[in-house]
Amino acid sequence: MNASSSALPGLFRTCPVTGLKVHGPAENLIKANAVVAVVTFLVGLVAALLLALTRWQAVHLLPADWYYRLVTAHGLNMLIFFIIFFEMAVLYFAGPILLNARLPMPKVGWLAFVLMVVGAILVEYSVFTGQADVMFTSYPPLRANPNYYLGIILFAVGALLVTILFFATLIVAKKERTYEGSVPLVTFGALTAAIIAVITLLHGAIIMIPAWLWSMDLMPMDPQVYRLIFWALGHSSQQINVAAMVSIWYFMAGITIGGVVLNEKISRLAFVLYILFISMASAHHLLVDPGFGPAWKVVNTSYFMYMAVLASMIHGFTVPAGMEVGMRLRGYTKGLFEWLQKAPWSDPGFSATFLSLVIFGFLGGVTGVVIGTEQINIIAHNTLRIPGHFHVTVVGGTALAFMGVTYYVVPLIFRKQIVGMSWARIQPYIFGAGIVIMATGMTIAGMFGVPRRHWDISFTQAPFKVEFPAASDMALGLLGIGGIIAFVGGLIYTLVVVASVFFGPSYTEEMARTGKGNVPAPLHKLPPQVHNKDEHHAPGTMVLVFIFLAVFAVYFFTNWKVLSMIWKVG
Amino acid sequence: MMHSGIVAPKGLWWVPAGKQEKLWVTVAFIWCMILFLSMPFWHMVGGQNTTGVRSRVDPAAFNSRTEKFVQAYKVGEENGLPVVAPPAGSHVYIRAGGFTWYPQVLKLKVGVSYTIHLSSIDVNHGFSVFPINLNFQVVPGYDYALTMTPNEAGEYRVMCNEFCGLAHHTMVAKVIVEP
């Protein structure tokens, strides 16, 4: 992996664990972005707990104004600030570090960082002072203070600069021959995320600049056009997450258990399918809107015949199958599942990755495709089924994968040992379980029609009462309990990371070379990243994916059946 | 020679996939086609679609259509609010705005079709019928005319399920479906 030396050799160090050459300025930007990501995560996390305790109708904690304010704050901190700051760190890692290259123009990286931080602060200030009670979606004619839109614009410009730096890194690395052959699959996946990010952020500019001008009465705004273009920002940004998360799955599969890439062609083609089709998913939010006809809805909501779903189903096979083959090549060949039984379940990096894969695939993917089916959306739109879906994609999937990789970023980049390793070991299970329980509660409540973003489903101040069945109250109880458990998991993550990064003992080169130190076990002796045999046999994974398909089919057709029983409409 | 995802592959990697990969990609592709075709299929045979008749509308014009509709078919009052019972096959106008639906009480009949026009005079709202969980988006400046046929008698509610401001959770109307 150590290719020819590049410019400015003094700014490089060689990682004693992976052998990668680490560029100092890139490393510092990873640190800065990761730290801000964790801070914004904490803000979103506290809001999450208060929201869960409000939607749990028996507790009903917050007053109405603070409930809506915190829904806004929670959405922005988690979906935009935490995730995108973390993804900036991922780009600085997958570009310069994985390619042994220097980061060109690190000052631009810092400019971008400042823009993003200033933008985030403007948004936080507007939201917490009650000047932007407009939800994450800010649908006009609901209006926020102009600073709110300006903050989003500054943040987006900063993120756009980072993607440009990533592309520049690829060019520099190629030119300076810091690697041989093609870029690694993980970098290819990050490139996919960066390209989708450009598509997303340009749409963000196309809609947020007019919204900003509109908020100052400088131009008109059509509510339906806003919804259309906003979702090319709002939903597509979740597709950056998908591509980044899948890249991390491949990364962690290799680092934790020596998982292999079964076939570079198949995995890369699947990433290309994301680039081509995934942005069409904006239509998922517009399926019961008056502005669009059925042909537009069918073609777009299905990512042109489900080509992006095909891509996810491919990764959903190749990642675990790559893990299985890697483990089989290392000698874990007994039966269907020895590779899984003997996997390092006490390594939070591995457990978080595998849980992320299962939660995203089985729960997130299936619920998403089903509620994103044009007609089935009639019995799902704006109910709790929607957050029930995206909490098992972006939280149980993406955020959990990001948490897992953090346990490796701390020793490898911050060069600190993990403080509270025994807490870290159980953290992915607590967080994953909490999210699954909460999202299940949301989905069940949503099936009874319980609306999302709604302060009081007992309608005490309304002209008519709405009497939800006891089952939906129970589902909201699940939401609350799951929310508390997930909060605990999130808090452990934050505390472990903050304690390790700021107060933890160093992870020295000596420790890394001799396999010592309080770090995830695979770092003591990295599993082989190159195997000298070929193997394509993954029978355990075959069983798992066909179980997945059966679950998918049952849920899909059940929803059509439920839809067929309501009033005729059309 | 196999390698992990952090290794830069050298030489030619455009090689045929293994048997199991080919099988899964084929199965997944077929499943995706089934998912896709289900939607046009339901447009042909299913009773629940989102098509409707969609048009732009000036909020003031929609407002006056709603007023005219309420005056024409008003059959009584409940707590000072008009109760409206439109005849079979008629055009029903439901206006969202100011945290209320108007009219707030609607009487329909089982098995009868109505063309229900939805629009808003202020911000986005969500038309959500309880307990059947039927949901449509209500967008200001747009008239969404959907043909609906109640299939069971009873008392229904129309909740708002798109955040429309700090009193969003008080926005609810009543629909009585008579046998």
pLDDT digits (tens, 9 = 90+) for A360-377: 999 999 999 999 999 999
DSSP type of residue A512: H
CB-CB contact of A15 with A507 (8 Å) = no
B159 at interface of A, judged by CB pairs closer than 8 A: yes
**Cβ-based neighbour number of residue A513 at 10 Å:** 10
Give how far B27 is from chain A: nearest CA, Å.
9
- How does pLDDT run across A421-455, given as a tens digit for each residue? 999 999 999 999 999 999 999 999 999 999 999 99
> In a mutagenesis test of the A interface, which of B24, B119, B123 is the best target, namely the one with the most A β-carbons within 10 Å?
B24
Phi and psi at residue B131, to the nearest 5° = -95, 10
A356 or A205: which leads in pLDDT: A356
- Tell me the chain B residues in contact with residue A455 when contact means C-beta distances shorter than 8 Å: 168-169
Measured CA to CA, the distance from residue A496 to residue A216 in angstroms comes to 44
Please answer yes or no on whether B161 and A452 come within 8 Å at the CB atom: yes
> Distance (Å, rounded) from C-alpha A376 to C-alpha A369?
10
Q: Is A555 on the interface with B (CB under 8 A)?
A: no
The phi, psi pair for A470, rounded to 5°, reads: -60, -30
B8: pLDDT strictly greater than 80:
yes
Q: Which DSSP string corresponds to B76-129?
A: EEETTEEEE-PPTT-EEEEEEETTEEESSEEEEETT--EEEEEEESSS-EEEEE
Q: Which residues of B touch A453 (CB under 8 A)?
A: 161-163, 168
Decide if B103 touches A, using CB distance below 8 A.
Answer: no
* Residues B53-105 pLDDT 10s: 999 999 999 999 999 999 999 999 998 899 999 999 999 999 999 999 999 99
Measured distance CA(A405)–CA(A98) in Å, rounded: 15
Instruction: Please state the φ and ψ torsions of residue B170, each to the nearest 5 degrees.
Output: -105, 0
Cβ–Cβ gap B135/A383 under 8 Å: yes
Helix, strand, coil % over all residues of chain B, rounded to 5: 25, 40, 35
* Residue B121: closest C-alpha in chain A: A141
Burial of A464 (0-12, 13-18, 19+ CB in 10 A): middle
At A3, the pLDDT band (50, 70, 90 cuts) reads: very low
For residue A5, count other CB atoms closer than 10 A to its CB.
12
At residue A536, the pLDDT reads 86
Structure tokens at A128: 């917490």
Distance CA A385, CA A398 (A): 19
Distance CA A440, CA A471 (A): 13
Q: Is the peptide bond before A141 cis (omega within 30 degrees of 0)?
A: yes
Sign of the CA dihedral running A370, A376, A378, A380 = negative
Contact between A142 and B164 using a beta-carbon 8 Å cutoff: yes
Residue found under tokens 């995203």: A360
CB atoms within 10 A of CB A530: 12
pLDDT of residue A11: 86
Three-state SS for A533? coil
Query: Looking at chain A, which residue has its C-alpha nearest residue B171?
Result: A462
Two structure tokens written together for A146: 């102009």
**How many CA atoms within 13 Å lie on the side-chain side of A246?**
29
Buried b (16+ CB within 10 A) or exposed e, A243-269: bbbbbbbbbbbbbbbbbbbbbbbbbbe
The answer, for A287 touching chain B at a CB cutoff of 8 Å, is yes
DSSP character at residue A136? T
With beta carbons under 8 A apart, name residues in chain A contacting B79: 463
Q: Residue A254: which H helix or E strand, with range? A: helix A236-257
Kindly report the average pLDDT of chain A as a whole number.
94
Q: State the pLDDT at residue A455.
A: 96
pLDDT of residue A4: 40
Q: How far apart are CA A550 and CA A542, in angstroms?
A: 13
Helices (H) and strands (E) in chain B, counts: 2, 13
As a whole number of angstroms, the distance between CA A439 and CA A466 comes to: 23
Chain-chain contact of A377 with B1 (C-beta, under 8 angstroms): no
Looking at residue B11, its pLDDT comes to 83
Give chain A positions within 8 Å (CB) of B6.
18, 98, 184-186, 251, 254-255, 529
Residues whose CB falls within 8 Å of the CB of residue A550, separated by 6 or more in sequence, listed in order: none
- Amino acid identity, residue A375? Q
**Greatest Cα-to-Cα distance within chain B, rounded to the nearest angstrom:** 82
DSSP B75: E
- Specify whether the CB–CB gap between B160 and B96 falls below 8 A: yes
Q: Report the alpha-carbon distance of residue A247 to residue A250 in Å, rounded.
A: 5
Q: Is B1 on the interface with A (CB under 8 A)?
A: yes
- Cis before B82 (ω within 30): no
Tokens 């401001």, located at residue: B165
Which band of pLDDT confidence, cut at 50, 70 and 90, is reported for residue A281? confident
Closest by CA position to A357, among listed A219, A499, A251: A251
Q: Do A184 and B14 touch (CB under 8 A)?
A: no
Percentage above 90 pLDDT, chain A: 91
**Euclidean distance between CA atoms A56 and A49, whole angstroms:** 11
Residue A294: which of B4, B50, B174 has the nearest Cβ? B50
Q: Cβ of A454 and B169 within 8 Å? A: yes
Q: Over the stretch A383-407, which tens digit does the pLDDT of each residue have?
A: 999 999 999 999 999 999 999 999 9
Query: Hey, are the CB atoms on A451 and B128 less than 8 Å from each other?
Result: yes
Q: What is the pTM of this model?
A: 0.95
- 3-class SS at A534? coil
Cα A159 from Cα A155, distance rounded (Å): 6
Sign, CA torsion A528/A496/A84/A415 = negative
Chain B residues touching residue A289 (CB < 8 angstroms): 137, 139, 144
Answer for the pair B162, B143: CB distance below 8 angstroms, yes or no. Answer: no
Backbone region of residue A7 per phi and psi (left: phi > 0; alpha: psi in -120 to 50; beta: other values):
beta
Residue A5: which pLDDT band, with cuts at 50, 70 and 90?
very low
How many other CB atoms sit within 10 Å of the CB of residue A218?
A: 10
Are the C-beta atoms of B96 and B124 separated by less than 8 Å? Answer: no
Q: Residue B2 carries which side chain, given as an amino acid letter?
A: M
Helices and strands, number each (H, E), in chain A: 20, 4
Distance CA A42, CA A26 (A): 25
Contact A32, A74 (CB under 8 A): no
3-state secondary structure of A16: coil
What is the percentage of chain A residues whose pLDDT exceeds 70? 98
pLDDT of residue B80: 87
Contact list, B136 vs chain A (CB under 8 Å): 288, 378, 381
Predicted local distance difference test score (pLDDT) of residue A2 = 39
Q: Which pLDDT band, with edges at 50, 70 and 90, does A9 fall under? A: low
Is the CB of A321 less than 8 angstroms away from the CB of B157? no
Total CB pairs under 8 A between chain A and B: 350
